[in-house]
C-alpha cells in the first residue's frame, strides 16, 4: 500500500471556492478483487487533477439553490402514470423511499422489508410530513435523484465526479487500502464513518452516535482532507453503471480518466421499466457487516436515475481547467 496523500500538491491557483479540495492527478489501483463481483477487476487507472467538494452537499446548501432558482426535485413532482403503467395508482403521488426499520429479523433478500415509499418525503422533510428542515440543515441533502444533483451542480458551476475521480478522492492517497483510512474498519476501536452498528436492518446500536444521517464532518477527514467519502450517504457519480467499470482500454495500457459503460448497457435486464442506472459510491449509514459491506472506496452500486431515497446524496467536482 502506497500513499501520496498531499492535499494541495501541484494545486492550480484558480481555486473555484473555499469549499473544494484539490486532488492531485496520478495513477491508482481502482476496484477490488476481494469483495463484491461488480468491483472486479482491480486495475491501474490514471486521472487528471481536479477539485472536489470537501463535504457532501448539505441540505442548507441545496436550499440556497432552490431559493435562487425555484427548482422542484423529482420527489416533489407527481409521477407520470404513462412512465409507470404497472404501478399502484395510490403510489403515483409525490414522495420518495425512506428507510423504516422492521421490528425484528427479516429476509435480507427482500429490500421492501425495510424500504417504504412515503408520500411527501423529500429533501425538505426527509422522513415524510412529520419531519422538517431545521434538524437536517448541516446533514447531507437526501431524496435527490440524479437529475436533481446535476441541476445543483450546474447552478454551482460544477459537475458530478466520475466514478474514477470519486474513488481516487475517497482513497485519500492510500492506494490499495481497504478503507479510506487504512485496512482496519475500526482502528484501535475508533469508529471512522457513519455506518451501521448491529444487525441490519432491525438492530442498530447507534454506537457512532447516529442512526440515520449525521452532520457533515462528524467523523475524521481522509488524507486529502475530505469528509464522509465513506458512509453517511451514497453519492451520485456521472458514470453509467457497467460490470467491471465498463472501460474498453486494452489491457496493455493504463486507462486515463476512465468512464463507465453506455446508457443502454446500464439498464438492469430484469427491470420492466428499462430505467438506466448511474454509479453510486461510498456506501451509507445503512451499510453493515452482515448485509452491505460497501463502506469502502472500491465499492459501487447501480442506482436507477429516477430513484431518490433517504440515504443517497452527492458532492460536486470541478475540472482543473475551470475558470
CATH code: domain of residue 79 = 3.90.1580.10
Mean pLDDT by 10 residues, the chain (323 residues): 53 89 97 96 97 98 98 95 79 94 97 97 96 94 98 98 98 97 96 98 96 98 98 98 68 84 96 95 97 97 98 97 55
Range of the domain at 41: 20-318
Count of Cβ atoms closer than 10 Å to residue 139 Cβ: 23
Residue 216 lies in a domain: yes
10: in domain: no
Please list, in sequence order, all residues whose beta carbon lies within 8 angstroms of the beta carbon of residue 125, skipping any fewer than 6 positions away. 131, 132, 133
Cα separation, 209 vs 47, whole angstroms:
36
- Nearest CA-CA partner of 128 in 90, 148, 99, 91: 99
What pLDDT does residue 245 have? 63
The enclosing H or E element of 148 equals helix 146-155
How far CA 198 is from CA of 11, 180, 288, in Å, comes to 41, 21, 7
Per the structure, how many domains does the chain have?
Answer: 1
Question: Phi/psi at 250 (nearest 5 deg)?
Answer: -55, 150
Whole-model pTM: value is: 0.94
Q: Of the candidates 132, 178, 158, 216, which has an alpha carbon nearest to the alpha carbon of residue 297?
A: 178
Strand bridging mode 2-3 / 174-175: antiparallel
Cα(242)–Cα(261) distance, rounded to whole angstroms? 5
- Whether 130 is in a domain gets the answer yes
| CA distance linking residue 246 with residue 228, whole number of Å | 26
Q: Is residue 163 part of a domain?
A: yes
In this structure, is the dihedral angle defined by the CA atoms of residues 252, 258, 261 and 266, taken in order, positive or negative?
positive
The SS3 of residue 304 is strand
Task: Report the C-alpha gap between 13 and 17 in whole angstroms.
Answer: 11
| Residue 244 belongs to some domain of the structure | yes
DSSP 46-115: EE--EEEESSPPBHHHHHHHHHHH----GGGSPPPGGG-TTS-GGG-SSEEEEE---SS---TT-GGGTE
The pLDDT value recorded for residue 322 is 47
Residues contacting residue 173 through CB under 8 Å, at least 6 positions apart? 3, 4, 5, 6, 222, 223, 224
pLDDT of residue 52: 98
In the prediction, which pLDDT does 8 show? 47
Q: Which residue has the cell 475540472?
A: 319
- How much of the chain exceeds pLDDT 90, in percent? 84
- Output phi, psi for 33, to 5 deg: -95, 0
Q: Does residue 187 lie within any of the structural domains?
A: yes
The verdict on residue 81 lying in a domain is yes
Report CA-CA distances (Å) from 220 to 190, 194, 216, 225, 231.
Answer: 10, 11, 10, 9, 12
- The answer to whether residue 1 is domain-embedded is no
Q: Prior bond to 10 cis, omega within 30?
A: no
* Closest of 161, 130, 143, 127 to residue 48, by C-alpha: 161
Amino acid at each position: 500500500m502506497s500513499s501520496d496523500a498531499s492535499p494541495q500538491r501541484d494545486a492550480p491557483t484558480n481555486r473555484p471556492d473555499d469549499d473544494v479540495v484539490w486532488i492531485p492527478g496520478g495513477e491508482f489501483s481502482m476496484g477490488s478483487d476481494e469483495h463484491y463481483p461488480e468491483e472486479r477487476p482491480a486495475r491501474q487507472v490514471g486521472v487528471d487533477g481536479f477539485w472536489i467538494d470537501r463535504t457532501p452537499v448539505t441540505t442548507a446548501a441545496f436550499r440556497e439553490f432552490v431559493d435562487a432558482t425555484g427548482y422542484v426535485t423529482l420527489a416533489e413532482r407527481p409521477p407520470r402514470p404513462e412512465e409507470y403503467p404497472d404501478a399502484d395508482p395510490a403510489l403515483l403521488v409525490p414522495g420518495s423511499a425512506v428507510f423504516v426499520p422492521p421490528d425484528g429479523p427479516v429476509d435480507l433478500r427482500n429490500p421492501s422489508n425495510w424500504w417504504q415509499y412515503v408520500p411527501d418525503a423529500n429533501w425538505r422533510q426527509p422522513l415524510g410530513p412529520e419531519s422538517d428542515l431545521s434538524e437536517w440543515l448541516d446533514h447531507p441533502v437526501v431524496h435527490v435523484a440524479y437529475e436533481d444533483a446535476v441541476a445543483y451542480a450546474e447552478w454551482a458551476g460544477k459537475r458530478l465526479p466520475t466514478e474514477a475521480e470519486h474513488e481516487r478522492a475517497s482513497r485519500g492517497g492510500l492506494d490499495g487500502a481497504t478503507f479510506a483510512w487504512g485496512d482496519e474498519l475500526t482502528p484501535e476501536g475508533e469508529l471512522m464513518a457513519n455506518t451501521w452498528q448491529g444487525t441490519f436492518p432491525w438492530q442498530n446500536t447507534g454506537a457512532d452516535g447516529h442512526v440515520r444521517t449525521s452532520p457533515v464532518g462528524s467523523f475524521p477527514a481522509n488524507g486529502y482532507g475530505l469528509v464522509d467519502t465513506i458512509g453517511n450517504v451514497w453519492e451520485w457519480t456521472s458514470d453509467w453503471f457497467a460490470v467491471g467499470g465498463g472501460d474498453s482500454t486494452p489491457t496493455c495500457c493504463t486507462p486515463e480518466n476512465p468512464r463507465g459503460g453506455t446508457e443502454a448497457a446500464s439498464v438492469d435486464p430484469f427491470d420492466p421499466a428499462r430505467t438506466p442506472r448511474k454509479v453510486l459510491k461510498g456506501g451509507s449509514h445503512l451499510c453493515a457487516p452482515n448485509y452491505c459491506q460497501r463502506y469502502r472506496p472500491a465499492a459501487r452500486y447501480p442506482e436507477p436515475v429516477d430513484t431518490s431515497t433517504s440515504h443517497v446524496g452527492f458532492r460536486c467536482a470541478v475540472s482543473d481547467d475551470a475558470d
